[in-house]
Structure 1
Amino acid sequence: MRIALSQITTGPDPEKNLTAVREQAHRAAESGARLVAFPEATMACFATPLAPLAEPLDGPWATEVRRIAKAAGLVVVAGMFTPAEAGKVTNTLLVTGSGVEASYDKIHLYDAFGFTESDTVAPGSEVVTVDVDGVRVGLATCYDIRFPELFRAHADAGAVVSLLPASWGAGPGKRDQWELLTRARALDATVWLAAVDQADPAASGTSVPQKAPTGIGLSAVIGPDGTVRDQLQEGPGLLIADLDLDEVASVRRNVPVLANRALARS
């Protein structure tokens, strides 16, 4: 399975961000990718008032992403914000194209390191997987990476790939945590872990508020054995990766942590 991870820096204007989605989706399609994933907050970067720009899944922004996916002939995964109760929004992944239509609402909200996502964002509650060309893919968003049970739930649902769009907050030790956690979650669930972060705004020549979680780059593809197979640096880029899906079964035979876990609970 060939996938693409589009590491971009988004701004506050959803229409301008669609231009990047369109260009990157067509580049991914030209490479032969069947799925292209964009970061969390593709619709608009954090440090932007979210409620005024949130749209439903049948709104104009999501509709245009569907058109882009159809024109490119692949599945597009992009982070957006949908309306929620009490003036809040939901941090949503839209998954669309090639016969796939689904969404995932971020379950674990980023109330950490002095940032309180829950002030403006309502949490999701459902584990979501999708089938792309017969391959089951689990969906997660950014802070979800700190909760291994979600990725084990992907595996329990039959996923061999977990996809993690993010807008990772910068700060002391955060790069080490990003690299450690992505590798650990691949090992926990013995899945391919594809993590696509926003590019570091400084590397993109963009100025953003210091406290906003606006990305550090370092998007990566991690094998089911926890090894880094490919990784971008801090700046914008498009990572193309071929996932050997048979490797998941091989690793699970050698390191049957999922089966051993089930036995321990019985």
Structure 2
Amino acid sequence: MKIALGQMRVADDWQQNLASIGDLAGRAVDEGARLLVLPEGIIARDPDDPDLPRRAAQPVDGPFVSGLRDLSERHGLAIAGTVHVPDQGKAINAHVVIDRGDLIARYDKLHLYDAFASLESDHVVPGDEVPPIVRIDDFAFGLMTCYDVRFPELARALAVAGADALLLPAAWVRGPLKEDHWRVMVTARAVENTVYLIGVGEISARNIGRSLVVDPLGVTIAAGAEQPTLLVASLDRRRIEEARSSLPVLQNRRFGTPVLGRHRSSEAVR
């Protein structure tokens, strides 16, 4: 399966962002991609205004997600990324997956970025359910969001549940060694679970971009820098089978995976 990573600079206006995503979707289809993965918080963002995503939040049946569904249906393309949804006076950071116009999965971010002097919980309500496994054609995808990558038990739970690849929209904040953290942890989550890891970063004065795809044996097969770009990579089921044959970590593990919360089927989206 060919996938595309839409590394973009998210503007403070949802209509401008939807237009940018429309351009990325058209280019992805021209490249033969079946899935377009976008960054975190794609409705609206301002590096100087951390509360903007909450104020700009829309319900999943609002105009922004409806626009994504139209793009998906028009291009016959699956689209994944996170949007902020109003909740309890704050917002939920919802990772949505849309395929051919249908909203097929939603995962509400479990681990909020309360670290490195940031407090995402000031503006966002955490989810409490393990992400679903989403099937697109013959690949099974597990859903994660940004800071989730620092919690290996979540990636392991998804791999044990049958994920071939993990989708990781992000808005990774700059800082000392932070680019190294991003690269190391994306690679580690791929290798320790013998899955593809698709990390897509937002670009701004605050966020690093640096999107990348790492294969099940830790090889980086696509990578971006700090400018807007469309990356294309191929996921190969034979590579997963070879990795799990030579490195059977999922089979060899001796301890069970902790239950992280209630599991919601990808059919139970709202």
Common fold by TM > 0.5: yes
Matching residue's letter, 2:97: V
2-side partners of 1:82 and 1:64: how far apart? 15
The corresponding residue for 1:220 is 212
Equivalence map 1:35-114=2 (5 Å): 35-45=35-45, 47=49, 48-85=51-88, 87-98=89-100, 101-114=104-117
The corresponding residue for 1:21 is 21
Identity of aligned residues (%): 41
Give the structure-1-normalised TM-score: 0.91
**Farther-moved stretch of structure 1 (244-253 vs 132-141):** 244-253
Q: Is the 8 A contact 2:44 2:52 kept in 1?
A: no
Which of the numbers 152, 155, 160 marks the counterpart of 1:156?
Answer: 160
2-side partners of 1:265 and 1:130: how far apart? 22
Matching residue's letter, 2:18: L
- Provide Cα deviations, 1:14-48, integer angstroms capped at 9, x if missing partner: 11110111010111011110000110011111524
- Provide Cα deviations, 1:140-187, integer angstroms capped at 9, x if missing partner: 110001011111111112110101000000011001101101000001
Matching residue's letter, 2:208: I
Change (3 A) 1:225 1:24: same
Q: Is the 8 A contact 1:100 1:130 kept in 2?
A: no
Show structure 2 runs of 5+ residues with no match: 258-270
The corresponding residue for 1:208 is none
Q: Does 1:168 align with 2:172?
A: yes
2-side partners of 1:125 and 1:187: how far apart? 26
1-side partners of 2:124 and 2:2: how far apart? 33
Equivalence map 1:133-148=2 (5 Å): 133-148=137-152
1-side partners of 2:96 and 2:256: how far apart? 35
The corresponding residue for 1:232 is 224
2-side partners of 1:63 and 1:158: how far apart? 30
Matching residue's letter, 1:254: S
Give the structure-2-normalised TM-score: 0.89
2-side partners of 1:197 and 1:246: how far apart? 27
2-side partners of 1:62 and 1:27: how far apart? 20
SS at match of 2:61: coil
1:104 Cα deviation (Å)? 1.3
The corresponding residue for 1:7 is 7
2-side partners of 1:232 and 1:50: how far apart? 25
Show structure 1 runs of 5+ residues with no match: 203-213
The corresponding residue for 1:182 is 186
SS at match of 2:58: coil
Q: How many residues align?
A: 252
The corresponding residue for 2:243 is 251
SS at match of 2:6: strand
Q: Is the 8 A contact 1:151 1:188 kept in 2?
A: no
Q: Is the 8 A contact 1:88 1:120 kept in 2?
A: yes
The corresponding residue for 1:122 is 125
1:134 Cα deviation (Å)? 2.5
1-side partners of 2:173 and 2:52: how far apart? 18
Matching residue's letter, 2:105: A
In angstroms, what is the RMSD of aligned CA positions?
1.5
